[in-house]
Amino acid sequence: MTVAVETAGAATNGDRVSLLRVLGPAHVWALGVGIVLVGEFTGWNFSADKGGALAALIVCWIVGLLYTSVAMIDSEVTSTVAAAGGQYAQAKHIVGPLMAFNVALFLVFAYTMLEVSDAILLGDTIVAKAGVEGLTHNSFIAATIVVLAWLNYRGVLMTLNVNFIITAIAYVSIVILFFSVTPWTQGAVLKLNELVTPGNALPYGWIGVIAAFQFGIWYYLGIEGTTQAAEEVRSPARSLPYGTMAGMITLLIAAAMTWYVCASMMPWEYLGITYYPLWDAGKLTGSPLLENLLFIATLLAALASANGCINDAARAWFSLGRDRYLPSWFSAVHPKYRTPYRSILFLLPIALAFAFIADLNQAITFSILSGVLQYTFMSINIVMFRKKWPLGSIRRGYTHPFHPLPAIVLFCLCVVTFFAIFLGFGSQLIAMVAFYFLISLWFHFYRYKFVRRGDQFTMPWPKPQGY
């Protein structure tokens, strides 16, 4: 924050006002893991309802493979296209403007709906803890969204410093719970052998495993958000791959520990419907200390996720304005705090409106749908990127291995996830695809004429192969 104030002078002397490069790998980690970790506290467990406890574990690993592919692909492309907007800027340079416009909308929808879900979760958790008649979640939802928007408004460094601290506390709480239940001993606290048996492990068979993909996404949903910090990290080529891959490793460990503890303490019928699997696990230990720790950790995880989502959605919206895909009014940067303040303020009432009128399931589904559409794009994007700019033609901060295997794995898993979503929320899926189709028509036939076509491609790259 001090840096922001000190450098504000430059902004008023006729220089350009740009976002501030103050972040390091730890902030990238805090952004990515902060957005995702709430998925361990609620969300992943609904996959047990779809296919049983073993299905929740199977999708934990398979979806982990999907997201490892996402993290590797993202790290390579973003370490090269280091601009706010993340996947939007990638799509613009590699595929084209129409794809970029759609990807930016995927990002804004995914993060805003996730922010809404986080705020609802936080409000509901406090109301559940209080148990007071007449107490509603509205005030807590409003405070979550407004306070975090204010934090984002005031500067990215403080925003992600806060995210680092609260994410670390939430993560450590999972580790403390894991070791408190003596995971090396079955029968004392954990009863995995009794709760997950050959008879009930996959109650709906393999179709249940496919259906479980829809909520298995929650183990890792949002790790790709690290790329939105690309224009604010001091060394994008180093910090982004390092922070993203470290975040993914952290999440794989957290997901495994969470499943093991929860599946060993709760029957799948209950695990699949509770909103608070880790808090419930804390209660089941019989320790008031663990119960309260997991309650606080649930709140902190929701706060960290909403905080990161506000950061990312605002940068995607800001990038659209900067390229005139939307009115350039949205591309204003605060001259003192160096944040996209108009984008933050514009998205604030939208998030509040959805939080007050939408229910948690709908908000989560819209977030997941937009996220999976984005991952599908990423699998195509990396193939085009390698084809147009082969290794050796431009400088890359990170080169992901085994290409094109991760892209193929990612694409196939996205298809399976779409099928799983269709099974549970077919009408929402069709409505969302129709929305993106209509908005694409609007962009192509109306909005694109306002875009300064030469100005939008900013990377000093050689001509792509074949052009």
Task: State the residues that interact with another protein by CB under 8 A.
Answer: 11-12, 14, 16-19, 21, 82-85, 89, 126, 130, 132, 134-136, 139-140, 142-143, 146-147, 149-150, 153, 231, 319, 321-323, 328-329, 331-336, 341-342, 345, 348, 392-395, 458-462
Tokens matching residue 90: 């990638």
- Give the CA-trace dihedral at 184, 188, 190, 191, to 10 degrees: 120
Distance of closest approach, residue 164 Cβ to another protein, in angstroms: 22
| Coil, helix or strand at residue 144 | helix
**Rounded Cα distance, 241 and 399, in Å:** 10
Q: Is 62 exposed, middle or buried (0-12, 13-18, 19+ CB in 10 A)?
A: middle
Q: Which single residue is written with the structure tokens 């990612």?
A: 410
At position 91, the amino acid (one-letter code) is: A
Give the phi and the psi of residue 341 in degrees, each rounded to 5.
Answer: -65, -35
Q: Which residues contact 219 (CB under 8 A, 6 or more apart)?
A: 36, 39, 40, 44, 59, 60, 63, 64, 67, 251, 255
Distance of closest approach, residue 24 Cβ to another protein, in angstroms: 15
Distance of closest approach, residue 1 Cβ to another protein, in angstroms: 15
Residue 355, H or E segment: helix 341-357
The smaller minimum CB distance to another protein, of residues 50 and 93, is found at 93
Distance of closest approach, residue 312 Cβ to another protein, in angstroms: 16
The smaller minimum CB distance to another protein, of residues 197 and 465, is found at 465
| Residue 464 preceded by cis peptide, ω within 30 | no
The smaller minimum CB distance to another protein, of residues 331 and 379, is found at 331
The smaller minimum CB distance to another protein, of residues 199 and 460, is found at 460
- 3-state DSSP percent of the chain in helix, strand and coil, to 5: 70, 0, 25
Distance of closest approach, residue 34 Cβ to another protein, in angstroms: 21
Distance of closest approach, residue 352 Cβ to another protein, in angstroms: 9
**Rounded Cα distance, 462 and 465, in Å:** 9
What is the secondary structure of 49-69 as a DSSP string? HHH-HHHHHHHHHHHHHHHHH
- Contact (CB, 8 A) for 410 and 73: yes
Question: 255-274: b or e for each residue (b if 16 or more CB lie within 10 Å)?
Answer: bbbbbbbbbbbbebebbbeb
Distance of closest approach, residue 451 Cβ to another protein, in angstroms: 13
Distance of closest approach, residue 393 Cβ to another protein, in angstroms: 7
Distance of closest approach, residue 155 Cβ to another protein, in angstroms: 13
Q: Which residues contact 93 (CB under 8 A, 6 or more apart)?
A: 81, 457, 459, 461
Distance of closest approach, residue 13 Cβ to another protein, in angstroms: 10
Distance of closest approach, residue 341 Cβ to another protein, in angstroms: 7
Q: Residue 341 half-sphere exposure, CB side, CA atoms within 13 Å?
A: 14
The smaller minimum CB distance to another protein, of residues 251 and 333, is found at 333
| Coil, helix or strand at residue 275 | coil
- Contact (CB, 8 A) for 42 and 275: yes
Q: How many CB atoms lie within 10 A of CB 359?
A: 9
Residue of 255, 186, 225 lying closest to 375 (CA atoms): 225
The smaller minimum CB distance to another protein, of residues 50 and 388, is found at 388
The smaller minimum CB distance to another protein, of residues 336 and 447, is found at 336
Distance of closest approach, residue 324 Cβ to another protein, in angstroms: 10
- Contact (CB, 8 A) for 181 and 23: no
**Rounded Cα distance, 347 and 233, in Å:** 23
| Total residue length of the chain | 467
